[in-house]
Structure 1
């Protein structure tokens, strides 16, 4: 429409008392604008209340409940430690009690933090009661009982005192649980409010969408002639390009904005054509590199299989001639020992000792090469039973060293039972072998459950391993001590690592909390029967059990 015709049409409409298009659009957009402002304001209020209550539920009250549970668990640990001290008189049982008594109970502080975001008299009162009862238990019962035991021994504790302590702690326990219940109830109330505001916010969305739809319908007719039709032309060209005809040009026509858009689409098409060419070239390079990588990976797997097979065959075939050497050197020592000069006896002893050490080395190497190759059925293995069998295997060394092996409750896992027994045997033997010369060895095995599975540890009070060598000890044939100081082949911990990795875990050296000795930690996954897959088909040979030693 020309300006003259538009002016004439406007004048004609004005003479009939009708609104012009601009006036109607202005009035229409004014009404829609007011509606949008109201709806957006309502949505802002709803979302603000929703976010506020969500923060209270997910952050403030959640943190409060978590801190309360932590304080409650500390109280239980303190009471358990106190009972252990009362029964045995051993100071180590007081560690949880002393740790808990050195820090504030914290129930009132937690309630005060909660009151900053949500005032609730019941929660404050429950917190005050729980803290008062807990403090009274510390001051009126626990502390006097500790002083009594330290002064007169655990036999001075009367049954009445034990009953009184249990009753008083039951009151503390009930008060703490009541405080937690108050927090959970408050959290449930706020969660209900959160649900209400969420529903309101959900209702606002359709209203907002409806308003936008009405605005779109109202503007559709006015904009079609100047915008929609030219855009349909541009859209048809763009669809042709999108369908795969990248050489189809995009026609530049229509009003300034539409023409600019068409020019931009055309520029995008030409850029896309160039990028597609470069992408095809890059894809060919990636496919070539992938093929090369796959070939190299296959060569590496084949090489590893060949190396494992070589280690197995070499270790197996070397045993027979070495057995003869060892037998005849022992016969020489038996028949001619003491009949020749002292140097000849020494040479024979060197030969016998070297043959024995070579036999142990070959047996260990053979066992190392068989892990993952000689597969047995994967079953549920009770680690307590596996540890007992390993301790039985090492009973002679344990008895000679005067060592004590203890353990906490151990889980049931899925794996190869002989390998897990060998793992425990190697670790226990290492702890006994590398004991401190001034005291009998104490070895303790325990486990804890994590998100990834089970984390186990074998902790001793021996000579320890310096942190710089914590990784080196798992390398095959690596030794930290001369063989005349501590015998061994340097395969034991390397075998432990291979067994753990075969079961899908990892192993590392950690420093005990006391700073004395060594703690070997390893993980085993949460598997069930059928979830583990053997990495190699079973071999006809029987699995070897190499002697445990430090690497």
Structure 2
């Protein structure tokens, strides 16, 4: 027992939680007693207040309404007796017949303990006697044409005065009871106020005491520990952290000291990692600069090579053509064939160089970007393809294409290449091409579908590689750079392009098939005679800034229905 008491007296035996808990127990005990007294006083106050404000008020109001109704009825009957005018009975008819509707039940319900109920029952009995013995006979006599004498009036006044006397006795009993309840309410309210003041004083004293204790037990140790941590935070990582005060803060100081030691170790490791990162970044920047220099050299090489190769190729082609014109027919057939091969090879080499030059210029030599109406670009592409359209009789349909942000020449080249491919790689039927545009989130998704020979799924990615061909040059001309150019243009504008592997003409057969149905491209019906499986090339282009801002105003408009472009149509025929 002595040892336990000695431990209790030691200032560091109790931790901060135990000290705060003991202080709070004392404060809670005091506040519990005060709050209990306050609650009981409040309940009593509410009970008395309800009696004064609601019950007695309702009882007095009902009693007064009952008396006023009786008074109106007595006045109405006297007026009717003097004037014989039936309209004088209106107050009587509007009085709800108080002699038949006693209020003692209502009074007993709201004030069951009041002593005024017997007196009010006597008043109700007097009211019933007044009506049955005088009021009702008086009304019948007047309705029969009889006149009342002064004695009859005196009899009625006497009966009504008897009712008035009984009523006043009930009211004189009810009002003192209400005044006594009001006095009780005042006393209880004063008691509640006193308890409230006492509670405030207890809270104030408890707050001051708790503030002093918390400052001694918590604030001072925390301030000391914060100062120690601040010294370390200011860069003195070798400063040892020591905690003071209750055991919890001593332990916290030890934990902070352990954390400081680990932090010193991690700082050393971070410094080493930072040095390695700086070295790696320097290497990466050097490699990036080297890569940029290499790209510039490759672009310059492609440009210079394509220009430098033009002159010798032109000489080769020119002299070969001169040999063909001058010595054609003078040599044997094999020599003429060799000359023809040389001329054709030189021309194809020139075409490859020109295509390579155009491919290298995309994104490197450009015009200022602006908002471009793709309908105008389509019209220009149609003009450039006019000869191919007339030769093939191609039928082209196009939606009212949107406005995008980009370079008009490149976008024109994109549409021209796609439509030109659809016309070139046609099956036996007349080429039918359809250009559509739909909104997909923050992008426009376009599609170019045709009824041509189609692309096998395994070649869907290969067709976008430069100089990649799927057919012999004798069957379909070209250098194989068209779709590669389209891919570079679309990606330069921030979109992507791909081959839709679903067939453009699900019911189509090869040109040698016997199918005869003439369904339009993309209609979902059976393909026409000679139609191939068709190809759908899809690509995306981002919305303009204005179109994104318009989303806050209303939904984006879908592309309007397509309009057909015949072989002889120009830019004016493009859907607008």
Aligned-pair CA distance for 1:28: 7.5
Greater helix proportion: 1
Q: Deviations over 1:364-413 (max 9, x none)?
A: 01111112222223233221111121122112222222321211010122
Aligned-pair CA distance for 1:3: 5.0
2:264 to 244, 264, 273: 273
Counterparts of 1:29 and 1:301, CA distance in 2? 78
| Max Rg structure | 2
Q: Which residue of 2 aligns with 1:342?
A: 333
Alignment of 1:462-541 (within 5 A): 462-512=452-502, 514=504, 515=506, 516-527=533-544
Task: List 4+ stretches of structure 1 deviating above 6 A.
Answer: 4-7, 28-31, 214-218
Q: Which residue of 2 aligns with 1:21?
A: 23
* Cα gap change, 1:29 to 1:500, in 2 (>3 Å): farther
Q: Which residue of 1 aligns with 2:448?
A: 458
Aligned-pair CA distance for 1:523: 2.0
| 1:404 matches 2:388 | no
Alignment of 1:44-55 (within 5 A): none
| 1:422 matches 2:439 | no
Whether the aligned pair in 1 keeps the contact of 2:467 and 2:481 (CA below 8 Å) is yes
Q: Which residue of 1 aligns with 2:439?
A: 449
Counterparts of 2:443 and 2:207, CA distance in 1? 56
| 1:238 matches 2:266 | no
Q: Which residue of 1 aligns with 2:78?
A: none
* Cα gap change, 1:221 to 1:466, in 2 (>3 Å): farther
Whether the aligned pair in 2 keeps the contact of 1:459 and 1:512 (CA below 8 Å) is no
Whether the aligned pair in 1 keeps the contact of 2:503 and 2:535 (CA below 8 Å) is no
Q: Which residue of 2 aligns with 1:144?
A: none
* Cα gap change, 1:301 to 1:3, in 2 (>3 Å): same
Q: Deviations over 1:492-534 (max 9, x none)?
A: 11111222222222222223464532222222223469xxxxx
Counterparts of 2:220 and 2:334, CA distance in 1? 111
Q: Which residue of 2 aligns with 1:120?
A: none
Whether the aligned pair in 2 keeps the contact of 1:511 and 1:517 (CA below 8 Å) is no
Counterparts of 1:352 and 1:30, CA distance in 2? 112
For structure 2, list consecutive stretches of 5 or more residues without a partner in the other structure: 10-21, 37-204, 507-532, 547-576
Give TM-score scaled by structure 2 length: 0.54
1:330 to 301, 321, 337: 321
Alignment of 1:147-162 (within 5 A): none
* Cα gap change, 1:433 to 1:218, in 2 (>3 Å): farther
Whether the aligned pair in 1 keeps the contact of 2:244 and 2:250 (CA below 8 Å) is yes
| 1:395 matches 2:412 | no
SS of the aligned residue for 1:316 comes to helix
Q: Deviations over 1:20-58 (max 9, x none)?
A: 835324448979x99xxxxxxxxxxxxxxxxxxxxxxxx
Q: Which residue of 2 aligns with 1:302?
A: 293
2:307 to 298, 311, 316: 316
Whether the aligned pair in 1 keeps the contact of 2:224 and 2:243 (CA below 8 Å) is no
* Cα gap change, 1:29 to 1:278, in 2 (>3 Å): farther
Give TM-score scaled by structure 1 length: 0.56
